[in-house]
Amino acid sequence: MRIGRRFQFPPEQQEQRRKTVRLSWLSLALLTSTAIAVYLTLGQSEAMKTAWIEDLLALVPPIALIIAVRIENREPTERFPYGYFRAISIAFLVISAVLLLAGAWLLFDSVMKLIEGARAPIGTMPVFGRPIWAGWAMIAALTYCVGIGVLLGRLKLPVAEKLNDRALAADADMNKAGWMSEGAAIVGIVLIGYGRWWGDAAAAAFISLNIVRDGWVNLRQVVTDLMDESPTKLGETELESLPGRIRAAAERLPWVEKAAVRLRESGHVIAGEVFLVPRVEENLVANVEAASETLCALDWRIYSLTVMPVSRLDGADMPRH
């Protein structure tokens, strides 16, 4: 048995990791184009300014993912004997914190503008020598943003599911949900066009709330991951069945009387402990090593299982709250 080895992703998951990097670079290119499109048309609209800042914030997740993928599978060292798998969780934490803080600030700013009764005029702009209402250009830019967000979200979600990548799944959900923000901005611009000055600040506040929601949901998830929560289903709070499957497989071994399992997630991978009450102690070391290999083969995500023989187990079932 080798301790402190590099985790070997299966071929399919290795290809998905490469696809994650390619999608992150594609995201940077497309989201930069949306940020430029919104910036060139934002004028004095609060909704457009908030949508532009949201587009800039959307650049943070792909940058964090590119860095995390490069770091997470480094060889364990004396200083980091458990490896660098938490890099993905740290990327997730950075994404969530940035969203929550920026969204809270934008929400405060939008509400203050609404209270102050700030009015954002939308003038005209020359197109081929003719003046047109600048709101049309804003709506066109926002419509482009909607298409890009939905496209990126649909490309990323299947990869996130195959990799069990919470950071990528959160990024995909943010991209797909972005249409609500752009849609709110479009409504705000149309309301200004009809003389409803409050529509702009109200749309900006709605966009800010969406950013805060993304940040809070993701931050709550990453904090539970860093607290070594038992593995949960991707995008849900329900616990996975993997601990039960490992326990059942362990208790099917002819030399095992009873088993208990404790697992935790570290980025893409899962590690934990299996406690076994042996029926017989003959060839115990060989049996334990064989059991470790057998149980690790149950799921590609299992990186390390410490199989520990014990004399008895009191309360082998972990409480589920």
| CATH number of the domain bearing residue 302 | 3.30.70.1350
3-class secondary structure, 222: helix
How far apart CA 153 and CA 170 sit, in angstroms, is: 10
Range of the domain at 291: 242-309
Mean pLDDT (whole number) for 219-224: 84
Residue 316 lies in a domain: no
Query: Which residue, 193, 226, 259, sits at the end of a domain?
Result: 226
Alpha-carbon span 321 to 319, nearest angstrom? 6
Q: Is the pLDDT of residue 228 over 80?
A: yes
Show which of 169, 200, 226 is a domain's final residue: 226
Phi, psi of 10 (to 5 degrees): -60, 160
150 and 282 in a single domain? The answer is: no
User: Do 295 and 305 touch, CB atoms closer than 8 A?
Assistant: yes
Per-residue pLDDT at 120: 67
Q: Which single residue is written with the structure tokens 């071994």?
A: 253
> Do 91 and 23 sit in the same domain of this protein?
yes
Mean pLDDT of 225-232: 85
Which residue, of 196, 226, 256, is where some domain finishes? 226
**pLDDT at 321 (0 to 100):** 42
Domain assignment present for 158: yes
For the chain, the distance separating the N- and C-terminal CA atoms, rounded to the nearest angstrom, is 35
Q: Are 164 and 268 within one domain?
A: no
Q: Residue 221 and residue 256: Cα distance in Å, rounded?
A: 35
- The total number of structural domains in the chain stands at 2
Same domain, 119 and 89: yes
Q: Return mean pLDDT, the chain.
A: 84
pLDDT tens-digit series, residues 67-81: 888 888 788 888 888
Q: Are 122 and 199 within one domain?
A: yes
Could you read off the pLDDT of 174-199 as tens digits, one per residue? 787 677 778 878 888 888 888 787 87
Asked whether residue 184 is domain-assigned, the answer is yes
Do the bridges between strand 302-309 and strand 130-133 make them parallel or antiparallel, or are there none, so unpaired? unpaired
Mark whether 264 and 152 lie in a shared domain.
Answer: no
Looking at per-residue pLDDT, the higher value among 31 and 43 belongs to 31
- Please state, in angstroms and rounded to a whole number, the distance separating the CA atoms of residues 241 and 223: 21
The answer on 221 and 170 residing in a single domain is yes
- 63/24 Cα distance (integer angstroms): 7
315 inside domain: no
- State the burial class of residue 299 (Cβ atoms within 10 Å of its Cβ: 0-12, 13-18, 19+): middle
**How long, in residues, is the chain?**
321
Same domain for 289 and 171, yes or no, is no
Judge if 113 and 198 occupy the same domain: yes
